[in-house]
Amino acid sequence: MDIITLMELIPDPPQAYRGVPFWSWNDRLDAAVLRRQIQEMKKAGLGGFFMHARGGLQTEYLSDEWLDCIEAGIAEAGRQGMAAWCYDENGWPSGFAGGLVTGLGEAYHLRWLELEETDPAGSLPQDCLGNYRWDPASGAVAMLQPGEVPRLGPAERILTVREKINPYYSDILNPEVVKAFLDCTHETYFRHFQNEFGRTMPGFFTDEPQFKQGCIPWSTVLETEFYKRYRYDVKQILPALFREVPDYASARYHFWSLISELYVTSYGKQVYEWCEKHHCQLTGHVMQEDSLFSQMGATAGSMPFYEYMHIPGIDWLGRRIGADPVTPKQAGSAAAQLGKRFVISEMFALCGWNVSFEELKWIAEWQYVNGINLICQHLEGYSLRGLRKRDYPPSLFIQQPWWGEYKAFNDYFARLGMLLAEGKSAVKLLLIHPMHSAWIAYDGTDNAALRKLDEDLAWASRTLAGLHVDYHYGDETLLARHGKISESGLAVGACVYQAVVLPSLLSLDEQTVDLLEQWLDRGGPVISVGGLPRLCGGRVDARLQRLSERVIHAERDRGRLYQFLADRKLIAISISDHQGEISAISYRQMDLGTAQLFFLVNHDQHQTYDATVTIHGRGAMRRLALESGQPEPVAYEDTAAGVAMRLQFLPMQSHLLILEEGTQARAKQGRPDPWATVVTPGAQWHVTAMDWNALTLDECSYRIDEGPWQGPLPVIKLMDLLLNLQRGCRVQLKFVFDMALDPARLETLFLVLETPWLFEMAVNGRPLEYKDAGWWKDSAFKKVDLRGLVQTGRNEILLQTNFYQNPRVYEVLFGKDVYETERNKLTYDVELESLYLVGDFGVASQTPYQATARNGLHTDGPFIIVAPPRQVTTGDLTTQGFCFFAGSVTLSQTILLDPEPGRRIVLQLDRPDAVVAKVFINGRPVRTLLWAPYTVDITDFAVSGPNQLAVQLFSGNRNLLGPHHHIDGELYNVGPGSFTGQWSWTEKKFGTVPETAEEHKKNFWRDGYSLVRFGLRNG
């Protein structure tokens, strides 16, 4: 689109640019509920959804009932003008069809290699791929023939390589296995919904197809395919995949080149071609894209796979951004080179229940500035019943107090995504990606050579971004397929580059060396910022010495790299202060025909930068306010270096600038604000409105099968205790709570619990019958009226039920070598969960609060129900009667104003401890505070004299749902294990190797309660 058309569409972008969340189908599905939830998504400004089978699902996957629900989703999406995408698996990773493929037999099962040293005194194993004589001193290795009795020297050892098999996931390197997956899944959908393919149902999301993580893969087709390609037996070289034996580099290059090809063609290309034939699209992401090491353990390289996705994608986990931009840059680079319009990211998983709009924006914009342009929000829970509320939260859906404000967030990113998707890449620099060097270094571990490659790639990527030089990665597989020297530069598909940067490399492909030599012959510049390779395709090649003599060497020299690029006019922008280029601010440039778009993002969460921005071009400049879609004037001047302006970047703030070329640039002052009267609110506030408060009861006494009473014990630990019995039982649970006021004063008091019909209930010794009184927050959270049953002082709630599980549950939890495919679709029959008391009251802790990291609070409790808070002070509300609060609260006060003609009145607030906030003056809405800046112009709303200031604060569900007992308090990587006190993968630091066995045994539980701040800050 041209800039004029884009500006017309910006206020309300079309559906294609709007977020497409994972919609977790995780319970017994009801078509009427599905339709209502789709209608809610439409109101929130979403463009569609991925219908995603997930843990907790009680409608049989791919059954007639399941397909009826898919039909209901597609039909309602059509009515709403939305896109109903299919997710291609039950759980994840994709490729096993919920067990249908793996159920076809051992030939379809996941395979990998393991190496061990064998005792030479005994008979050699026969149930293996090979036994090998190995001399550790020289590294020499030789394969033994079956039945051969080796005579070993004094230092020699026997190595044995075994094929390992897991029946819970598929061998996706085998194209026949992937065809079976397509037959089970995609063909089923096509038979039922072919008329909607490529229309209301655009296509499929594939999620994390992989060979076994952290291992060296194997396949039933590998021996045949290896021999076809290389004309020798792959079993001869298997020890070289684990040890640096002679010619190991060549062996590894051959092996991993084939693995990469099989991974891409067997799975990616085959699924892509099926989608092409059936007029639909493939999107999704592969496994562990974030480092060379992680890619070696799952895909052998992410970038070649993107060629066979209509919409390439990544995922990004946790409340964080990356230290380097490798993950989004890989997908963004391949998409630009291959002419793909959209690049999607599955983001926001693990962020926790209280992540703010500003933090979500911070996470998303880091990815958007590095190549992404479409959001897949992780996730929206059809239900929060049982384990579902702990499924890598948050659920960014109707259960959230802020749901009604979410459209503003989605509109913002639809506008940004449309501009980035419709623009053409302006990148002129190609950074060679060292994935094929990682093939040489990888031995199944994160060894020193591999770490150096990763660290040097991260340095080059981070340095270029910090110098404000945009670049793409050049994957060698894609270079071989799409790279050539053109009249205008070094072309890779749709992109043309003017210079090449080499990071540290161990090896280059022959085609890459050919391309670089042709580029150098044309006078094309090449600069090396790391160690140059000595291998070509895994073998020593004299051409690399000649290549080394022709390139410019910088060796991690930031200044020399910058000068090299500046001399060749490859720097389009400067974002600097008195200390030089501001590396915390990144930029992305897109060509919009007659205009250039510059997207600038401050990644720093705490620091404000007053920057001088100089764009090396000519034309008229304006800023686009993405919150409204309206252009704003910006003060700039035409200098010898280009168009220059001063911009302030508040923490996590971004600016989107449009340079209209061909328009006469001139000094602009914008609309200078007159000197303003700054108003700050007082410390005292009235609580003028609040949602129901809550008290979470997550601890109980218990007895099993009429045995002795035990405890108290956290309910989540009781659930584990009963599961470990691996049998059914009768269980009784006793919860207690204290009330400091006369319950007759309460207009509302409900007990909220899940599946109440499964329990016999009593309150203070009096039977409590479940009568449907509706639900609170989630349709699974059923309300039971407690009025007339509670008393001042101590109260007791008694529940009893039969606890039982399907035998399949115990197989998954306690079986041997169970793969994550089974855990990711686990569904319990009976779940024990916390109770909630809900009503118009306050909640106080009877012990003090202690401030902890990340805006956290810790208190030992216990808690008591008190009168609802009516007067509060600026600062945290959690400690002022809102301990477990999950809703919105409105605070108000009177401020005296004396407006003067010509002066603006600005209300100065600090960033609130809330997901989002709204400001009102005299009952009129002024502004929704989505993110910085937090100054609010109230001039047009103020009157002389008293004015009513009100701030409505929206919390998340963190203090209600937890996790409450993790030893680290508030977490920014939250998974199911974060609630249990046991080690889980979310305890890892991203990009690191697994912790030790001792770390896995560590207790992460802490008694007492970890909460977070909620309210207005003191400044």
* Per-residue pLDDT tens digits for 51-110: 999 999 999 999 999 999 999 999 999 999 999 999 999 999 999 999 999 999 999 999
CATH number at residue 590: 2.60.40.1180
Residue 352 lies in a domain: no
Residue count (the chain) = 1019
Are 654 and 625 members of one domain? Answer: yes
Residue 149 confidence (pLDDT) = 83
Which of 839, 864, 880 terminates a domain? The answer is 839
Q: What local confidence, expressed as pLDDT, does residue 988 receive?
A: 80
* 555 and 608 both lie in a single domain: no
- Do residues 859 and 994 share a domain? yes
Give a yes or no: residue 817 inside a domain: yes
- The enclosing domain of 788 has a CATH number of 2.60.120
Residue 992 structural domain: 847-1019
Give the pLDDT of residue 1018.
Answer: 81
Same domain, 557 and 621: no
End-to-end CA distance of the chain: 45
User: What is the strand order of the sheet 539-540 is part of?
Assistant: 507-508, 535-536, 539-540
Three-state secondary structure call for residue 205: strand
Q: How confident is the model at residue 154 (pLDDT cuts 50, 70, 90)?
A: confident
682: in domain: no
So what's the pLDDT on residue 664?
61
- Domain identity same for 706 and 618: no
Q: Is the same domain home to 715 and 628?
A: no
Say whether both 872 and 1019 belong to one domain.
yes
Show the CA angle centred on residue 818, arms to residues 815 and 823, nearest 5°.
105
CA dist 968 and 978 (Å) reads 10
Question: Cα–Cα distance between 329 and 315 in angstroms, integer?
Answer: 12
Q: Among residues of the chain, what percentage have pLDDT more than 90?
A: 93
At 394, which amino acid appears?
P
Do 967 and 941 fall within a single domain?
Answer: yes
pLDDT tens digits, one per residue of 349-360: 999 999 999 999
C-alpha to C-alpha distances, 693 to 39, 684, 753, 867, 958, nearest whole angstrom: 28, 21, 15, 11, 13
Residue 276 lies in a domain: no
Confidence of residue 671 (pLDDT cuts 50, 70, 90): very low
Average pLDDT of 125-153? 91
Task: Look up tokens 């704003």; give the residue.
Answer: 632
Q: Identify residue 373 by its one-letter amino acid code.
A: N
Predicted pLDDT at 670: 42
Q: What pLDDT was estimated at residue 674?
A: 55
- Type of residue numbered 786: L
pLDDT at 687: 98
* pLDDT recorded at residue 998: 76
pLDDT of residue 663: 67
The answer to whether residues 554 and 591 belong to one domain is no
Is residue 312 domain-resident? Answer: no
Q: Are 283 and 205 in contact (CB under 8 A)?
A: yes
**Cβ–Cβ under 8 Å, residues 467 and 562:** yes
Kindly report the CATH number assigned to the domain that includes residue 496.
Answer: 3.40.50
835 in any annotated domain: yes
Provide the edge-to-edge strand list for the sheet that holds 203-207: 281-285, 203-207, 83-90, 48-53, 22-25, 380-381
* Cα angle, residue 265 at apex, residues 264 and 266 outer, rounded to 5°: 100
Q: Measure the CA–CA gap between 645 and 613, rounded to whole angstroms.
A: 5
Tell me if the pTM is above 0.75.
Answer: yes
Please give the residue that has the higher pLDDT: either 190 or 997: 190
Would you place residue 991 in the very low, low, confident or very high pLDDT band (cuts 50, 70, 90)? low
Model confidence at 592, pLDDT cuts 50, 70, 90, reads: very high
Asked if the model's pLDDT at residue 673 lies above 70, the reply is no
Measure the CA–CA gap between 219 and 110, rounded to whole angstroms: 8
The average confidence (pLDDT) of the chain is: 95
pLDDT for 666: 54
What pLDDT digit, counting tens, does each position of 201-212 carry? 999 999 999 999
The predicted pLDDT at position 151 comes to 85
Domain boundary among 804, 823, 839: 839
pLDDT at 665 over 90: no
On whether both 560 and 579 belong to a single domain, the answer is no
Res 973: pLDDT: 97
The alpha-helical segments, DSSP class H, found in 185-306 are 186-193, 222-230, 248-262, 270-277, 292-296, 303-306
Give me the number of domains the chain comprises.
Answer: 4
Q: Residue 669 — pLDDT band, cuts 50, 70, 90?
A: very low
Name the domain boundary from 805, 839, 873.
839
* Residue whose tokens read 């962020």: 351
Q: Mean of the pLDDT values across residues 8-13? A: 96
pLDDT (tens digit per residue) in 101-128: 999 999 999 999 999 998 777 788 889 9
915: left (phi over 0), alpha (psi -120 to 50) or beta: alpha
- Measure the CA–CA gap between 509 and 134, rounded to whole angstroms: 30
Is residue 114 situated within a structural domain? no
Give the pLDDT of residue 1019: 66
Q: What pLDDT is recorded for position 672?
A: 43
Contact 335, 371 (CB under 8 A): yes
Burial class (CB in 10 A: 0-12, 13-18, 19+), 701: middle
The pLDDT tens digits of the residues spanning 233-280 come to 999 999 999 999 999 999 999 999 999 999 999 999 999 999 999 999
Same domain, 806 and 883: no
Q: Is the pLDDT of residue 543 over 60?
A: yes
Where does the pLDDT of residue 512 fall: very low under 50, low under 70, confident under 90, or very high at 90 and above? very high
Joined tokens for residue 441: 């270094």
Query: Based on the domain organization, do 917 and 997 belong to the same domain?
Result: yes
| Percent of the chain at pLDDT exceeding 70 | 98
Looking from the CA of 179 toward its CB, the CA atoms found within 13 Å total 3
Per residue in 513-525, pLDDT (tens digit) is 999 999 999 999 9
Q: What average pLDDT does the segment 393-416 reach?
A: 98
Task: Give the lowest-confidence range in 923-927, 937-941, 997-1001.
Answer: 997-1001
